[in-house]
Amino acid sequence: MSLTKNQIKFLRGLCHSLNPIIMIGQKGLTEKVLAELEIALDHHELVKIKIAIDDREARKELIKSICEQSQSESVQVIGKTVSVYRQNKKKPVIDLPK
């Protein structure tokens, strides 16, 4: 699923009021973290993730890996915080603009 610029802008506006739900530490993207992310994406669709890795390139690779493994899209990256979106096919929570 590819988001349009208008949809990304809409989702970024929703991100401001969110608190990070998932915290990724020095161990990186573990199976337990992926399981929690799946639950959070199914329930909320838009999830804010806090990454506690200082290396900028390592963070970029981790964000790419997160999006690939969870089939989500990165909406916004600010410092060590990334917001990802994946639409719930059964019960959509967020009504995206066209």
Largest Cα–Cα distance of the chain, in whole Å? 39
Domain 5-85, CATH homologous superfamily name and number: YhbY-like (3.30.110.60)
pLDDT at 14: 94
Average pLDDT over residues 83-96: 89
Dihedral sign, Cα of residue 32, residue 36, residue 41, residue 47: negative
User: Does pLDDT of 1 surpass 80?
Assistant: no
- List the structure tokens of 18: 């969110």
User: Does pLDDT of 97 surpass 90?
Assistant: no
Q: Where along the chain do its domains lie?
A: 5-85
pLDDT bin (cut points 50, 70, 90) of residue 92 is confident
